[in-house]
Amino acid sequence: MTRTTVEFIACPVCKHQSGFTTYQSINATLDPKLKQQIIDWELFKFYCLNCGEPRLVCYETLYHDMENRLMLYYIPAIDSREQEQYRIEEIFSQIKQVEGDRYSNSFDTYNFRIVSDMESFIEKVQIFDAGYDDRLVELMKFILAPKEEEDIQFSYDHMVFTKVGDDSYQFMFIYENRAVASLKFSEEMYEHFKSEYSGLLDDSYFVDEAWAYAMVSKT
Ligand SMILES: [Zn+2]
């Protein structure tokens, strides 16, 4: 179920207060428009009604994609993963009860994830929307990433899976919040990773670079 509240936010430029809808939970299957707005980076953007100044507002929200079996919790700042994990497990189990009754949904094969930055949040929304397994995508990023600076003509901090156009995807190389290069995401490569790693994948609330590193070290 999608739940919202309206908050008043002061514009950082002109100080004018404008209303802004925040989502405590988003059901992407019942409200597909919201999914698209997340992918377009628009859902969390606040526009001042007086001067038009845009500003990204990050707040805790639960994203639920019933079709692609994803329950994704976005917490902008995580102090202690252990503590948060405990709190979120409670929240997840409440939701399982409520939504399970309402939609006769079984959560057996669900993917439960927690992310702490907006970029990862939007990335996961897109990965599952495309029908991919985020663990395989993280492994691809980890293994395909150029490791030596001599191999590439640019510096980058990390890679992110992104949709381009209607039905193709790429990995963007991000440096200081800007995309500096891209690498085509190939379906064949994904299938290759799937056949290599499918049986070995651990499940975790936190599927990120550190997870991929731990996974690769084990194999
Ligand atoms: Zn303003």
What domain range includes position 49?
1-131
pLDDT number for residue 153: 81
Cα–Cα separations (whole angstroms), residue 33 to 67, 155, 173: 14, 36, 28
113 plus 136 within the same structural domain: no
pLDDT number for residue 105: 66
- Residue 135, classified by CB atoms within 10 Å of its CB into exposed (0-12), middle (13-18) or buried (19+), is buried
85 plus 53 within the same structural domain: yes
- Residue 165, classified by CB atoms within 10 Å of its CB into exposed (0-12), middle (13-18) or buried (19+), is exposed
Q: How many Å lie between the centroid of ligand 1 and the Cα of residue 20?
A: 13
105 plus 20 within the same structural domain: yes
Q: Domain end: 80, 107, 131, which one? A: 131
136 plus 214 within the same structural domain: yes
Q: How many Å lie between the centroid of ligand 1 and the Cα of residue 151?
A: 45
pLDDT number for residue 103: 66
125 plus 200 within the same structural domain: no
pLDDT number for residue 140: 96
> How far is Cα 30 from Cα 67, in angstroms, rounded to an integer?
10
Q: How many Å lie between the centroid of ligand 1 and the Cα of residue 12?
A: 7
Mean pLDDT of the chain: 90
Alpha helix stretches (DSSP H) within the chain: 32-39, 81-103, 118-129, 134-144, 187-197, 209-218
User: What are 160-177's pLDDT values in tens digits?
Assistant: 999 998 889 999 999 998
pLDDT number for residue 109: 82
Average pLDDT of span 44-52: 94
Token digits of residue 74: 């976005």
148 plus 101 within the same structural domain: no
37 plus 143 within the same structural domain: no
Confidence band of 147 (pLDDT split at 50, 70, 90): confident
User: What are 56-72's pLDDT values in tens digits?
Assistant: 999 999 999 999 999 99
Q: How many Å lie between the centroid of ligand 1 and the Cα of residue 11?
A: 5
208 plus 155 within the same structural domain: yes
Q: How many Å lie between the centroid of ligand 1 and the Cα of residue 6?
A: 18
- Residue 146, classified by CB atoms within 10 Å of its CB into exposed (0-12), middle (13-18) or buried (19+), is middle
Token digits of residue 2: 């999608």
77 plus 160 within the same structural domain: no
Q: Domain total for the chain?
A: 2
Q: How many Å lie between the centroid of ligand 1 and the Cα of residue 9?
A: 10
